[in-house]
Chains A and B, each alone.
Chain A
Amino acid sequence: MTKLPNWADIVLVPLVSLLFAAIISALVLLAIGQDPVAAMNVMVTGALGSPYGWGYTLYYTTSFIFTGLAVTVSFNARLFNIGGEGQAQMGGLGVALVLLSLPVWPHWTVALVAAALGAAAFGAAWAAIPAYLQARRGSHIVITTIMFNYIAAAVIVYMLVDVLRPPRQMEPASARFPEGAALPTLHDIPGLSLIFTREVPANVTLFIALVAAFLVWVLLWRTRLGYQIRAFGQSEPAARYAGIDPFRTIMITMLISGGLAGLMAVNNVMGEAEKLVQNSSEGAGFIGIAVALMGRNHPFGVLVAAFLFGFLYQGGAELGLWTTIPIEMRIVVQGLVILFTGALDVMVRMLLARLFFRKPPPEVAVAARERA
């Protein structure tokens, strides 16, 4: 296979893929009678043109970092965890159950730790069953996790309508979380309050997300466990040869992955909504897939990609407000990004190779001859 220089592989390929996605998105906009340039303008001003916009962009970015990391961890073990959406929703359930268990919380830091544990535990538990089925029975994790997304939605509906809904409330939602469980937003943080002069949804969870990204990097490339996960993801037979237990690896990977997806709920359920509602994750679990693919399954790439999608999300919301472009446009972009970065990356590579090397690309000589 062609070998682009390393920097091109890591930076240029996703960039070019993104360009393709952007071009096709623009074409779609034209096809439905909209102006792509004007749309871009609205998006940029709405998402990045003011601290208020940034407050929203960063808020979405936080969620996408978590779901992107979740998919990244699982992808490194060659497990396609498409269940981030369901795991995030169950994480929300965990947050709600934990926070509603006390009438009042002494301090938001205590509440944060407790809620985070609950979120991660519920998310991990929701990932555990598909993980077990894949590890023990070979059931394809893609389909089982997708099914569990639907089942999670049903469970949440049931919980909200029949269990968590306060009496005499019509809306299927939980009660508001008690005092002491409110997280400081970026507006509340001394120093940052000078920039974010109005209430914004972005909150301290952002910093937790950044730390999580660093920890995932350390895990995958600096620890034994990470080495085992990556080796297993490359080749299960080789992993068994090396004494790496497939069952354990699959379970641990998916528990971490589900836990990360669940943690997202701290951002939106605890940090913003302050109660549990239906469909709390609003598609963030799926965006995590696009983020991980664009970020080449590397935590640093995830940070960049999550920011990009945060911009897209907030920009898309602004489009919905100020133009007649439906909010579903951002799902189209999401699909295009996944398509180009995930499935058509060979096409992008081939094009770049043609640019880099005027004649057919060279291969490492002896290895190539041996295959001839």
Chain B
Amino acid sequence: MGFYADLLQILDSTLRLSTPLLFACLAGLFSERAGIFDIGLEGKMLIAAMASGAVAALTGTVWMGLGAGILASLCLAAIHGVASITFRGNQLISGVALNFLASGITVLVAQRLFGQGGRTPALSGDARFGEIVLPLTETLRPVPVIGPFYADVVSGHALLVYVALLCVPLTWWVLFGTRFGLRLRAVGENPGAVDTAGVSVIRMRYTAVLITGILCGFAGAYMATALQAGFGKEMTAGRGYIALAALIFAKWRPWAALWACLLFGFFQALALRPDVVENVLTVKVPVPALDALPYVLTVLVLAGFVGKAIPPRAGGEAYVKER
């Protein structure tokens, strides 16, 4: 097939695989910047995947599926919000608990609805996000190097891939160009400063948590209706945690998050083509090793081999008014 063709295929997969990571990463970004530590991205993605897979199958329309996915994710996000903000509970434990909850409920509901052993039926046609061919794809294809790149890597993705990419500048603008973003960032650094300025810390944090829910909804829905054709047990396979690692890697900045997610997606893409890896490295790499690569990279990131990362100062702590 040729090395360049292989590379293009891997890059194409990279973009496909990075998308859920990117949505989840941006979701985590909003939450953590507001001071809420959310380890439950995984659970939200999973429940969104199930809900969207189920509703898309039942209604035949992927848009209903997307809406259902976002709604499901918002439910979990709301519980996390109530536990963390109103009841000032331990945010880590809340996230872990909700992940388990999602793990179990997704199978229960899928089984109840479809009786296929916890899966949702395979989606096709309008129940899926199809590939979008960008303008000028065919005209550019003959152009050397760039043509195939544009045709195979840039064009031909599901709508949500492009949405995810657009979310990056959008996030950047919201965080740094709006009043809301200023207040959000302040809440994560010194909620006392926000409170004494007359802005509701609780409202800001709930808003952040809801945005997280929406973005995770996109992530999960994408997985079930675009990346794959339906929901399967545990289909997120730790992507929520990888997204968190990417977030730390990116030091909580939107553009850096894009590159971090692309990198992790790249590793996931590599695991799908062990033959290419072998050709390049001229040594047999056991498949489990490639599978483990994203997780190992996460650990390396966390071990600080890629620089020191300082989280938002008020992260993970419930806000109690100074008396």
> Taking the complex as a whole, does A directly touch B, i.e. does some CB pair lie under 8 Å apart?
yes
Chain A residues close to B by CB (< 8 Å) = 28, 32-33, 80, 82, 129-130, 133, 137-140, 142-144, 146-148, 150-151, 154-155, 157-158, 161-162, 286, 289, 293, 325-326, 328-336, 338-339, 342-347, 350, 371-372
Q: Which residues of chain A are near B89, meaning CB under 8 Å?
A: 342-347
- Neighbour of B302 across the interface among A139, A150, A343, CB < 8 A: A139
Please report the C-alpha to C-alpha distance between residue A154 and residue B100 in the assembled complex, in whole angstroms: 21
Q: Are A335 and B98 in contact (CB under 8 A)?
A: yes
Q: Which residues of chain B are near A344, meaning CB under 8 Å?
A: 83, 87, 89, 94
Q: Does B101 contact A (CB under 8 A)?
A: yes
Q: Which residues of chain A are near B304, meaning CB under 8 Å?
A: 137-139
A-B contact pairs, 16 of them (CB 8 A): A32-B109, A147-B299, A151-B296, A151-B299, A154-B291, A158-B288, A286-B100, A325-B108, A326-B107, A326-B118, A333-B104, A336-B97, A343-B90, A343-B97, A344-B94, A347-B87
In this complex, which of B100, B107, B112, B295 has the most chain A Cβ atoms within 10 angstroms of its Cβ? B100
Chain B residues close to A by CB (< 8 Å) = 39, 79, 83-84, 87-94, 96-105, 107-109, 111-112, 118, 238, 241, 244-245, 286, 288-289, 291-292, 295-296, 298-299, 302-304, 323
Q: Are A335 and B295 in contact (CB under 8 A)?
A: no
Q: A287: nearest residue on chain B (CB-CB)? A: B100
Instruction: Evaluate whether A328 and B104 lie within 8 angstroms (CB atoms) in the complex, with A143-B298, A150-B295 already known.
Output: yes
Give the interface SS of chain B, mostly helix, strand, loop or mixed. helix
Q: Which residues of chain B are near A331, meaning CB under 8 Å?
A: 100-101, 103-104, 107
Please report the C-alpha to C-alpha distance between residue A280 and residue B244 in the assembled complex, in whole angstroms: 28
Report A206 CB to chain B, min CB distance, Å.
26
Report B85 CB to chain A, min CB distance, Å.
11
Please report the C-alpha to C-alpha distance between residue A129 and residue B298 in the assembled complex, in whole angstroms: 14
Q: Which residues of chain B are near A161, meaning CB under 8 Å?
A: 288
Q: Which residues of chain B are near A286, meaning CB under 8 Å?
A: 100
Instruction: Evaluate whether A158 and B286 lie within 8 angstroms (CB atoms) in the complex, with A151-B292, A334-B100 already known.
Output: yes
Q: Which residues of chain A are near B245, meaning CB under 8 Å?
A: 143, 147
Q: A293: nearest residue on chain B (CB-CB)? A: B93
In this complex, which of B39, B88, B104, B298 has the most chain A Cβ atoms within 10 angstroms of its Cβ? B104
Instruction: Evaluate whether A154 and B288 lie within 8 angstroms (CB atoms) in the complex, with A28-B108, A32-B109 already known.
Output: yes
Q: Are A147 and B295 in contact (CB under 8 A)?
A: yes
Q: A24: nearest residue on chain B (CB-CB)? A: B101
Q: B39: nearest residue on chain A (CB-CB)? A: A142
Q: Are B97 and A143 in contact (CB under 8 A)?
A: no
Q: A140: nearest residue on chain B (CB-CB)? A: B302
Q: Are A32 and B108 in contact (CB under 8 A)?
A: yes
Instruction: Evaluate whether A328 and B298 lie within 8 angstroms (CB atoms) in the complex, with A143-B241, A150-B292, A344-B89 already known.
Output: no
Q: Are A142 and B99 in contact (CB under 8 A)?
A: no
Please report the C-alpha to C-alpha distance between residue A226 and residue B123 in the assembled complex, in whole angstroms: 56
Q: Are B292 and A154 in contact (CB under 8 A)?
A: yes
Q: A333: nearest residue on chain B (CB-CB)? A: B104
Report B221 CB to chain A, min CB distance, Å.
21
New A-B pairs, 12, CB < 8 Å, besides A331-B100, A344-B94: A32-B108, A82-B96, A133-B303, A142-B39, A143-B302, A144-B302, A147-B238, A150-B292, A151-B292, A286-B100, A343-B93, A344-B87
Please report the C-alpha to C-alpha distance between residue A191 and residue B60 in the assembled complex, in whole angstroms: 63
Report A34 CB to chain B, min CB distance, Å.
9
Q: Are B104 and A329 in contact (CB under 8 A)?
A: yes
Q: Give 8 closest A-B pairs by Cβ, nearest first.
A: A335-B100, A331-B104, A335-B101, A332-B104, A342-B93, A343-B94, A343-B89, A339-B97
Q: Are A335 and B99 in contact (CB under 8 A)?
A: yes
Instruction: Evaluate whether A339 and B103 lie within 8 angstroms (CB atoms) in the complex, with A32-B109, A140-B302, A347-B87 already known.
Output: no
Q: Are A339 and B94 in contact (CB under 8 A)?
A: yes
Q: Are B288 and A157 in contact (CB under 8 A)?
A: yes
Q: Are A146 and B238 in contact (CB under 8 A)?
A: yes
Report B140 CB to chain A, min CB distance, Å.
40
Report A321 CB to chain B, min CB distance, Å.
15
Instruction: Evaluate whether A346 and B88 lie within 8 angstroms (CB atoms) in the complex, with A328-B107, A336-B101, A371-B323 already known.
Output: yes
Q: A159: nearest residue on chain B (CB-CB)? A: B288
Report A323 CB to chain B, min CB distance, Å.
12
Q: Which residues of chain B are near A372, meaning CB under 8 Å?
A: 323
In this complex, which of B79, B244, B302 has the most chain A Cβ atoms within 10 angstroms of its Cβ? B302
Instruction: Evaluate whether A346 and B288 lie within 8 angstroms (CB atoms) in the complex, with A144-B302, A326-B111, A332-B101 already known.
Output: no
